[in-house]
Each structure stands twice: as structure tokens, then as C-alpha cells.
Amino acid sequence: MDFVIEQHIRAFGEKRKKGQYSEATIRNYVSAVRSLNRHVNGGKPFDDLDWARDQANVLKVVASIPNLQTRRNLINGLIASLQTMGFPIAVITPYEGARDLYNAQYQASGFATEKQALIMKAVSKADINTFLAKEILDPTLTENNTRFSAFTILSIHTAYPFRNELGDMKFIRRVLFDKMSNEDKQENNWLILEKGFGKQSFALTRYKTHSYYGTKEIDVLPKYATLIHKISQVRGLKLATINHQPLFVSSAGDAFTPNKVSKHLADYTIANLGNPISTTLMAKIFGAKVKDPSKPTPAELDALKLQADIRGHSLVTRFLKYTDV
């Protein structure tokens, strides 16, 4: 069956607008679909692809594979094989939807390096949540700005998959922010305040794909808004003079930068969790997951869309055509 699939992929590639597939790509596709057949059918001979017509079963098997990159590779190989062998679009469409979901998950958090994978085995999502729940009850938490800042950043990253944008974020009141020129807005990322501290928004103007997507405003959830308000109180910041004040500072009064976010977060998590947890790792650990790629729930899609938006990516929504949302 390997040879048959390879020949179909080559024949399809000759007619492709983008040109013929590379030899490596062809090998990878054939290897992926052979591997997927083994996952689905065990030791049965690899004689055909008719088993792919049972999309629910295949997608369930793929979803059970822990590694995101492996899931993407298997689905991509299957799609290429089905397309080049002339399977009906109705057979292929659910797999395209799963591919889009896996791509969205990757855009939000990426693949884990070997070192990151080891840390993720040592420190779980539950470990981090348990630590944060205990830490917030410590009455001495707010006595050290570096510690309180690192705690707040770590807490925020459980819900928002930022890179290090919090490192150059400054307070700004809405009335002033709306009057600023686009050029001035791009000097920093901003924490916009409205109704005192009653409504807060993250305004991202300095992120990786800003030139394409523009400024992003993201509402701050109440639990994190409370922490940010507490930060201002501990530092004695007043609304009248809060504009352009850094959101996070060290105990020495130095404003955080993206690089300092990395350093202080690493120091803080090594001391309390035994491993350096970066903002990149937080995105991987707390990234949105889709339990069943064939039937993503509205909540799962919303979480993926939020993550893709924060990370400065678009979310392909081809899968919406065959879901109930």
C-alpha cells in the first residue's frame, strides 16, 4: 500500500499549482498514514484506506496520542493520501477540521523542546494552580514587589497566553489612551483603566505580528483586575498620576522589561516549583485543549480563538462547517 499511496501523491503533485512535493514530504506522508493505520488497525495488513471512512473512530484514536506534533503529522499524511487517491470530500472534510484545530493549538503554544517536555513532566498545571492558591493566602506576599509582581504575572498567564508583553506594559487611563496617536500607543503595551480600576483592558501594541493585526484590546478578568489594583495600592499609585507608570516593578523600583519578566519568573518558579517556568511554557501547560476534534464544543472554540488572538494568529474555521456551533 505504501507504493500505491506514493504513486498517487506523485501523480497529484505533478498537477499541483505549487509544484511537485519534495521527496522528504512524500516520505513523511506515506510514513504517517502507515503509522496511523497501525494505530487504528493494530497488526492488520495495510491493504487500503477504507478504514478512514469511519472518521469518528480515526479522530478518537488520533486524539488519544499525547504529542501534538504527532497528531498533526498523522492527520496531514492522511489528508494528503485521501485527496490524492480521490476519496469523496465528505470523507476528507472532518479531517481538515481536525487539522485546523491542531494547527490552532500549535499556534497558541507551539511544540515543546526536549528541555520543556522534561519540565512539563515535573511541573503540572495542577501543581501551578495549587501553588498559586496557597501563595495568595500568604500575608507576606505583597511585602516584596518582585515576588508579588512575579506571582501576578504567573497568575495572569494561567488565563492569557502572552509572550513577554507584560514586561513593557504601563498604566494608562482610557480618556488619555483614546487621545493618543498610533505612534505614541506603540511605545508600550498598556493596561487601560476605566471607572477607576473598575474596568481594565490589556492593550497590545508591541507584539510579534502587530504590523499585520494591529492593536489588540483584551478585557482583564475580575480576579486578575483585583491583583492589579492591589499592586497599585501597595506601590501607593494614585489615579491622578498613574498614567505611564510601569505595571510591574522590582523591589528596587526598577521597571520590568520583557527580559526581566523571563529572569524574575524563572527565579520565582525555581524557588517555589523547583523548575524555571517561562511564559512560553505557561502557554503550553495552560493552552486550550480540544477533547474531541470531530465535535469541538463552543467553549473549546472560544478558548482557541482567544489564544490565537492573543498570540497574534488567525484561527482557520473550516471546521465550523460541520460542527453544531
**201 occurs within a structural domain:** yes
Residues 7 and 83 both lie in one domain: yes
**119 occurs within a structural domain:** no
Can you name the residues that pair with 169 across neighbouring β-strands? 189
Residues 97 and 192 both lie in one domain: no
Round to whole Å and give the CA distance between 124 and 192: 32
Residues 176 and 143 both lie in one domain: yes
**150 occurs within a structural domain:** yes
Residues 168 and 219 both lie in one domain: yes
Round to whole Å and give the CA distance between 286 and 306: 13
First-to-last alpha carbon distance for the chain, in angstroms, is 38
Domain stops at, among 276, 291, 317: 276
Q: Report the range of poorest mean pLDDT among 50-59, 153-162, 309-318.
A: 309-318
Residues 182 and 249 both lie in one domain: yes
**179 occurs within a structural domain:** yes
Round to whole Å and give the CA distance between 92 and 81: 10
Domain with 41, as residue range(s), is 2-109
pLDDT in tens, 72-126: 999 999 999 999 999 999 999 999 888 888 877 766 555 667 788 899 899 999 9
**65 occurs within a structural domain:** yes
Residues 75 and 210 both lie in one domain: no
Q: What is the pLDDT of residue 314?
A: 52
**12 occurs within a structural domain:** yes
Q: Which residue has the higher pLDDT, 205 or 169?
A: 169
Residues 41 and 141 both lie in one domain: no
Residues 20 and 77 both lie in one domain: yes
What's the predicted TM-score (pTM) here?
0.67
Residues 226 and 135 both lie in one domain: yes
Domain stops at, among 109, 143, 170: 109
Asked if residues 5 and 29 have their Cβ atoms less than 8 Å apart, the reply is yes
Residues 8 and 133 both lie in one domain: no
Q: Quick one: pLDDT band at residue 155, thresholds 50, 70, 90?
A: very high
Furthest-apart CA pair in the chain: how many Å?
74
pLDDT in tens, 265-275: 999 999 999 99
Q: Where residue 249 sits, what CATH number does that domain have? A: 1.10.443
Asked if residues 220 and 201 have their Cβ atoms less than 8 Å apart, the reply is yes
Domain stops at, among 55, 77, 109: 109
- Alpha helices (H) along the chain: 2-15, 23-41, 55-63, 68-84, 89-109, 114-122, 125-135, 145-156, 174-177, 182-185, 210-213, 222-234, 258-273, 279-285, 298-310
Residues 264 and 181 both lie in one domain: yes
**295 occurs within a structural domain:** no
Residues 102 and 139 both lie in one domain: no
- Count of structural domains within the chain: 2
Instruction: Kindly give the pairing relationship between strand 169-173 and strand 189-194.
Output: parallel
**96 occurs within a structural domain:** yes
Round to whole Å and give the CA distance between 179 and 174: 9
Written as nine digits, the cell of 176 is 488619555
Section 200-226 average pLDDT: 82
Q: What is the pLDDT of residue 321?
A: 31
